[in-house]
């Protein structure tokens, strides 16, 4: 039964690769333009800055690629990141007295946040498949819930990580491995994992089949509900991994943490050539999309030829232009 559902998807994908260069061309053009405007754009320090800060949205968007390809959507990721960050900090602060302010506490915190993220995703998946509620509504609901719970926990202020743990943990964000910042490694690792899962496993093919036609997938005896729930679990775990990188940056979480990340993550996925209606897409496209988005912000900060009042407009124009470049993929 498998060839029946996967064969058409495969040919579609092969045809699409040609048009998939749109975001890459857009990114290349932006890089050239930025370098002309300010040569320090190409400095190693700046490139590391951009890639490191892309890692949060990028990792979340890798998970989002699965959700969207399967025909779903997760609007809650920004709020979820905020609540996960706050919970992780409170958890580690509570553990510090028992385990000390070292790696033991941090590793426990990481495990805690990954489990919590997976559970949030599981909740979404169950409400959507078993509860048969539209994903837009479920995750719009949790978008509000997650952020208010964090606001409640922090009384509207900031939840701050204890100094001892913060000092050790900050190496995860600010440290280097083989000369490259650790968040970039994690980002690449998650993207590679996502790419393999999507393109080289039966699960990935099932996700694409479900997204392109759920009824057909059901008739083909795919376990549609289970696979869909899994996409939300993957999304939850991705948000948790992003949180693990986010917390050591400032050592705090506040109600403004992760604000509007959901829009950036979804935009990265769509700019990268994944269809918002589901069915097909690629992780590598998402990665390029995420880098493109944060590069726009970086270029705007590095130059002052355009009034700061128009920053959002420039971002809008670039996003639409890139979508135009890769429009062939949708047909």
Partner 1 sequence: MKRMLQLALVAAALLGGMALAQQKAVIGVSIPAADHGWTAGVVYWANQAKAQVEEAYPNLSVIVKTAKDPAEQANQIQDLVTVNKIDALVILPYESAPLTKPVADVKKQGVFVVVVDRGLTDPSIQDVYVAGDNPGMGRVSGEYVAQKLGGKGQIVVLRGIPTVIDNERYNAFMDVMKQHPDIEVLDAQYANWNRDDGFKVMQDFLTRFPHIDAVWAQDDDIAVGVLRAIQQANRSDVKFVLGGAGMKEFIKKVMDGDPLVPADVLYPPNMVATAVNVAALHYSGGSAILGTYIVSAPLVTKDNASQYYYPNSPF
Check binding of 297 to partner 1 (CB under 8 A). Answer: yes
Length of the chain, in residues? 331
Interface residue with partner 1, options 11, 97, 201, 301 (CB under 8 A): 301
Interface residue with partner 1, options 257, 274, 282, 295 (CB under 8 A): 257
Nearer to partner 1, 87 or 257 (CB): 257
Nearer to partner 1, 14 or 309 (CB): 309
Residue recorded with tokens 């048009």: 19
Please name the residue ranges forming H helices in 130-180: 135-154, 163-174
Check binding of 315 to partner 1 (CB under 8 A). Answer: no
Check binding of 304 to partner 1 (CB under 8 A). Answer: yes
Check binding of 295 to partner 1 (CB under 8 A). Answer: no
CA dihedral (62, 63, 68, 73) positive or negative: negative
Options 10-18, 34-42, 68-76, 87-95: segment touching partner 1 (CB under 8 A):
34-42
Contacting partner 1 within 49-68 (CB under 8 A) = 49, 53
Closest listed residue to residue 249, CA positions, set 55, 40, 117: 55
Contacting partner 1 within 108-167 (CB under 8 A) = 151, 154-158, 160
CA dihedral (324, 325, 329, 331) positive or negative: positive
Contacting partner 1 within 166-195 (CB under 8 A) = 174
CB of 222 to partner 1, least distance (A): 40
Cα–Cα distance measured from residue 176 to residue 154, given in angstroms and rounded to the nearest whole number? 32
Nearer to partner 1, 6 or 252 (CB): 252
Interface residue with partner 1, options 38, 93, 199, 213 (CB under 8 A): 38
Q: What is the chain's percent helix, strand, coil content, to nearest 5?
A: 80, 0, 20
Binding mask 266-285 for partner 1 (x = CB under 8 A): --------------------
Cβ atoms < 10 Å from Cβ of 137: 12
CB of 156 to partner 1, least distance (A): 2
Check binding of 46 to partner 1 (CB under 8 A). Answer: yes
Contact 204, 65 (CB under 8 A): no
Contact 246, 74 (CB under 8 A): no
Options 103-111, 185-193, 198-206, 305-313: segment touching partner 1 (CB under 8 A):
305-313
Check binding of 45 to partner 1 (CB under 8 A). Answer: yes
CB of 4 to partner 1, least distance (A): 47
212: which 2 tokens?
Answer: 């392109």
Q: What is the DSSP string of 190-230?
A: HHHHHHHHHHHSHHHHHHHHHHH-HHHHHHTT--HHHHHHH
Q: What crossing angle do the helices spanning 135-154 and 77-99 adopt, rounded to 10°?
A: 40
Interface residue with partner 1, options 192, 302, 314, 328 (CB under 8 A): 302
Q: Which helix (H) or strand (E) holds 68?
A: helix 44-69
Residues that bind partner 1 (CB under 8 A): 38, 40-41, 43, 45-46, 49, 53, 151, 154-158, 160, 174, 249-250, 252, 254-257, 259, 297-298, 301-302, 304, 308-309, 311
């Amino acid at each position: 039964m498998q060839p029946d559902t996967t064969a058409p998807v495969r040919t579609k994908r092969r045809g699409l690769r040609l048009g998939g260069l749109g975001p890459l061309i857009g990114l290349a053009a932006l890089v050239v333009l930025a370098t002309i405007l300010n040569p320090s754009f190409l400095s190693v320090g700046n490139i590391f800055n951009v890639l490191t800060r892309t890692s949060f949205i990028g990792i979340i968007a890798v998970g989002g690629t699965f959700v969207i390809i399967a025909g779903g959507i997760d609007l809650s990721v920004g709020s979820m990141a905020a609540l996960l960050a706050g919970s992780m900090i409170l958890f580690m602060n509570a553990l510090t007295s028992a385990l000390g302010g070292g790696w033991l506490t941090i590793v426990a915190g990481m495990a805690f946040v990954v489990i919590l993220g997976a559970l949030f995703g599981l909740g979404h998946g169950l409400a959507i498949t078993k509860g048969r509620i539209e994903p837009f509504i479920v995750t719009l609901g949790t978008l509000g819930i997650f952020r208010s719970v964090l606001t409640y926990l922090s009384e509207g202020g900031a939840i701050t990580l204890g100094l001892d743990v913060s000092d050790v943990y900050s190496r995860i964000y600010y440290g280097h491995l083989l000369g490259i910042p650790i968040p970039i490694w994690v980002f690449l690792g998650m993207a590679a994992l996502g790419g393999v899962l999507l393109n080289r496993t039966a699960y990935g093919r099932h996700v694409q089949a479900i997204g392109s036609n759920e009824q057909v997938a059901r008739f083909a005896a795919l376990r549609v509900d289970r696979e869909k729930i899994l996409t939300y679990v993957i999304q939850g775990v991705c948000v948790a991994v992003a949180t693990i990188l986010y917390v050591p940056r400032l050592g705090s979480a506040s109600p403004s943490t992760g604000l509007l990340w959901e829009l950036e993550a979804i935009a990265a996925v769509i700019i990268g050539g994944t269809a918002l209606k589901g069915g097909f897409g690629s992780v590598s496209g998402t990665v390029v999309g995420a880098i493109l988005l944060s590069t726009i912000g970086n270029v705007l900060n590095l130059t002052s030829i355009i009034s700061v009042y128009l920053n959002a407009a420039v971002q809008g124009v670039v996003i639409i232009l890139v979508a135009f470049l890769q429009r062939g993929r949708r047909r």
